[in-house]
Amino acid sequence: MKNILITGGAGFIGSHVVRRFVTRYPQYHIYNLDALTYAGNLENIKDIQDAPNYTFLKGDIVDEQFINEIFSKYQFEGVLHLAAESHVDRSITDPLAFVRTNVIGTMNLLNAAKNLWKDNFDGKRFYHISTDEVYGSLGAEGLFTETTAYDPNSPYSASKASSDHFVRAYGETYGLPYVLTNCSNNYGSFHFPEKLIPLFINNIINNKPLPVYGDGNYTRDWLYVKDHAVAIDLVFHEGKNHETYNIGGFNEWKNIDLVKLLCAKMDEKLGRAEGESAKLITYVKDRPGHDLRYAIDASKINKELGWKPSVTFEEGLQETINWYLENTEWLNNVTSGEYSKYYEKQYS
């Protein structure tokens, strides 16, 4: 049995990846390492907590000694690294937290993997999960490819870019076998309601204003989280060492159009009159350094590994809305306590 470490597996994307690996690969023992920050939640992986090939490890990737201890104890042969501070707005108010987790935390994992594997890299793999935001902002035209130069604008994307560079540097310098993916905006179940889609679903349910930054004419490419998990599985198993793959949904939306679609779907689902939720749309002060447009060229992963999204945006969004409406207890739990303080500070 191979011991595999997944970091950040109590978060949004990580929980989907952990679930997929635990259920699909009984030959692996999955160790899920997560510090359970505000974004991590054991409820996200409750359904697999008793699986015989699964162990949860509570710990901080910034804690070098702890990281070295678990690598020595469990002799991991593969690492899928998802733990991160992930929210751009929080990176604007507390950039150092992003350096600690995203840069130093990644370094600790890289060092531990290099030291454990250095005598024999065969069959070992360090998979770093990253974002398309490292490429900066596009104008009206063009797509990010794997060779687009890095040009990060937010403290979040700067910290992810830094960690990406270190991963590649460890590959070049020490021969560490790595793969790296840069993915566009994910959406789906277990998404913490600080990000656009779950925040707006929660506010629509509660008849609260929908704070659209600036004029709302910012564009993102959206991918259903389960399709991202499939891509991660594929790259981990079939990606080539020292390669980067862009992952995207072929699905660009201007924020304001997406919000209007979401409002219409919520009206339907909640039995509200047409146009009712859209009345909640409120234009607010823009995010500083707001990137205009992200769009991914995902043709490499499509051609080389045969991956493409399995659901349309309409389907994925509908499933997401249904999930939030069926899981109001989850939503109430994550929005009680600290969340209201964050919300007040960010949107007052």
**Residues known to be catalytic:** 132-133, 156
Contacts with ligand TYD: how many residues (CB under 6 A)?
12
Are 334 and 41 spatial neighbours (Cβ–Cβ below 8 Å)? yes
179 closest CA partner among 104, 245, 247: 245
Residue 183 touching ligand NAD (CB under 6 A): yes
Which tokens hold the place of 42? 């054991």
Query: Phi then psi for 196, rounded to 5 degrees?
Result: -45, -60
Residues 6+ apart with CB under 8 A from 81: 7, 8, 106, 109, 126, 127, 128, 129
Amino acid letter for position 13: I
Shorter beta-carbon distance to ligand NAD: residue 78 or 105: 105
**Residue 153 near which of ligand TYD, ligand NAD, none (CB within 5-8 Å, type-dependent):** none
- The smaller minimum CB distance to ligand NAD, of residues 252 and 280, is found at 252
Determine the Cα–Cα distance for residues 117 and 87; give it in Å rounded to an integer.
32
Provide DSSP, 128-168: EEEEGGGG----SS--B-TTSPP---SHHHHHHHHHHHHHH
Q: Is residue 283 a contact point for ligand TYD (CB under 6 A)?
A: no
Each residue 178-217 as x (binds ligand TYD by CB under 6 A) or -, in order, gives -------x---------xx--x-----------xxx----
Closer CB to ligand NAD, residue 80 or residue 176?
Answer: 80
Whether 193 and 206 have beta carbons less than 8 Å apart is answered as no
Residue 40 binding: pick among ligand NAD, ligand TYD, none (C-beta 5-8 Å cut-off by kind): ligand NAD
CB-wise, 81 or 195, nearer to ligand TYD? 195
Cβ atoms of 295 and 219 within 8 Å: the answer is yes
User: CA angle at residue 117 from 115 to 122, to 5 degrees?
Assistant: 160
Residue 320 near residue 187 (C-beta atoms within 8 A):
yes
Indicate the residue among 47 and 257 with the shorter CB distance to ligand TYD: 257
CA–CA distance, 223 with 73 (Å, rounded to integer): 36
Q: Does 255 bind ligand NAD (CB under 6 A)?
A: no
- What's the gap between Cα 100 and its chain centre? 18
d(CA 8, CA 145): 26
17 binds ligand NAD (CB under 6 A): no
CB closer to ligand NAD out of 34 and 291? 34
Stretch in the footprint of ligand NAD (CB under 6 A) among 8-16, 137-145, 202-210, 264-272: 8-16
The least CB distance from residue 105 to ligand NAD, in Å, is 5
Chosen from ligand NAD, ligand TYD, none, partner binding at 220 (C-beta under 5 to 8 Å by type): ligand TYD
CB 286 within 8 A of CB 217: no
Instruction: Name the binder of 135 from ligand TYD, ligand NAD, none, CB < 5-8 A by kind.
Output: none
Rounded-to-integer distance, Cα 127 and Cα 168, Å: 11
Residue from 29, 30, 79, 105 touching ligand NAD (CB under 6 A): that is 105
State yes or no: residue 342 binds ligand TYD (CB under 6 A): no
Residue 88 interface partner, choices ligand TYD, ligand NAD, none, CB cut-off 5-8 Å depending on type: ligand TYD
Which residues fall within 8 angstroms of residue 39, CB to CB, at 6 or more apart? 11, 12, 86, 87, 192
CB of 238 to ligand NAD, least distance (A): 20
Work out which of 3, 101, 111, 277 binds ligand NAD, going by CB under 6 A. 101
Return the residue of 18, 45, 62, 99 that touches ligand NAD, per CB under 6 A: 62
> Among ligand NAD, ligand TYD, none, what binds residue 12 when CB lies within 5 to 8 Å by partner kind?
ligand NAD
Task: Report the interface residues with ligand TYD, using CB under 6 A.
Answer: 88, 185, 195-196, 199, 211-213, 218, 220, 255, 287
